Amino acid sequence: MGNPSFFTIFDLPDRRHISLFARRFSMATQKRPALGRGLGALIPTQSSTTPVSPAPSPTPSSAMPPSTVHRIALNRIEPNPDQPRHYFDDERLRELADSIKVHGVLQPLLVKRAGDHFQLLAGERRWRASKLAGLDVVPVLIEDVTDEKQLEIALIENLQREDLNAIEEARAYQSLVAKYKLTQEEVSQRVGRSRAAIANSLRLLRLPTTIQRDIESGLISAGHARAILSLESTEKQTRLHKMILADDLSVREAERMARALSETKTPALKPQKDIDPQIKALEDRLMEALGTVARLKPTSATMGRIEIAYNSLDELDRILMLIGVQEETV
């Protein structure tokens, strides 16, 4: 037959191949219900049964009916500037590129016209992998959508594939709220998440920048972030963040530590007057290492004592483990 297999898969009447395209997007989410109306509802289906041309050259824009698979030169496609996803795993991209070299692009990219070029709506990972694979043309579906709908499609695609980290997801929701004046309730209806889930996601953007950065990089999980968010003060949030990193706390351990921190006030160690800068520097290093308040109390030029504060017996156990004191077993 000569044509790549994706033409056989998608050479169907308009409503059928768009429906199939939407179902293929949802295959990765069989573990949970589809989000909102799904991509099928976001992509308008216009009546068209125009056959796909097997010619390798790009079809002129004027001859491109919507909702039909076309072959477009890769260098005419630009990434979506509002793409919620910012991190792409290089190793997985190379694996996908190797697969594309053998099998081709089996699922068309979704694009919209942008002058004499096209802008991605969905499929940036396939677009990047196609470039790595050295492809000249790729299969696409061309749709006419607003900028608001474009952001919705990109967000829902990534959510269905679970490709966004918690901060990227929160920023995408914030974009819908800020750029398009949507309420949290309207966002929840569009993406198929509860209003509480949207609100909790947006709360992540209130965390200190250092904590947000560690969520993005995967050093701490969204579960850890929720435990940190349960604390009201930035000081306690930062303390718990340091404890999670220093002690490799599980989410459950972080939640338990958050409860202990929220139930008790920071222990008050007597204020020191005229602290020697070297002693202050050592105290800061101790606090960094232990994740709690620590004080050095010199009693002479060569002697002194160390005071370490703890908020609960759990925190005491954690500190004792850090300094190598293990519980005796009978």
> What DSSP designation does 299 have?
S
- Tell me if 269 is assigned to some domain: no
User: What's the CATH number where 108 sits?
Assistant: 3.90.1530.30
**276-318: pLDDT as tens digits:** 788 888 887 787 677 777 888 888 888 888 888 876 777 787 7
Q: Kindly report the pTM of this predicted structure.
A: 0.47
DSSP letters along 189-203, please? Answer: HHHT--HHHHHHHHH
Two tokens at 8? 């056989």
Whole-number pLDDT of residue 244? 92
Two tokens at 167? 């901060």
Rounded to an integer, the average pLDDT of 199-222 is 89
Q: Which residues pair with 137 in a beta bridge?
A: 73
What per-residue string of b and e applies to 9-22 under the rule 16 or more CB within 10 Å gives b? bbebebeebbeebb
Whole-number pLDDT of residue 280? 80
Whole-number pLDDT of residue 107? 83
Four-point Cα dihedral 272, 273, 277, 281, nearest 10 = 10
Could you tell me if 285 and 304 lie in one domain? yes
pLDDT band at 173 (very low <50, low <70, confident <90, very high): confident
**81-130: pLDDT as tens digits:** 776 666 677 887 888 889 888 888 888 888 888 888 898 888 888 888 89
- Tell me if 272 is assigned to some domain: no
- Tell me if 214 is assigned to some domain: yes
Could you tell me if 22 and 138 lie in one domain? yes
pLDDT over threshold 90, residue 151: no
Could you tell me if 197 and 117 lie in one domain? no
Number of domains in the chain: 3
Could you tell me if 42 and 176 lie in one domain? no
Could you tell me if 66 and 153 lie in one domain? yes
Active site residues: 124
Give CA–CA dist 202/211, Å, rounded. 14
The CA-atom distances, in angstroms, between 309 and each of 237, 279, 287 are 17, 17, 10
3-state secondary structure of 69: strand
| Structural domain containing residue 204 | 166-263
Q: Which helix (H) or strand (E) holds 9?
A: helix 5-10
Whole-number pLDDT of residue 307? 86
Of 160-164, 265-269, 313-317, the least confident: 265-269
Could you tell me if 235 and 182 lie in one domain? yes
pLDDT band at 251 (very low <50, low <70, confident <90, very high): very high
Give CA–CA dist 96/124, Å, rounded. 12
User: What's the CATH number where 216 sits?
Assistant: 1.10.10.2830
Could you tell me if 25 and 139 lie in one domain? yes
CA angle 277, 279, 283 (to 5 degrees): 115
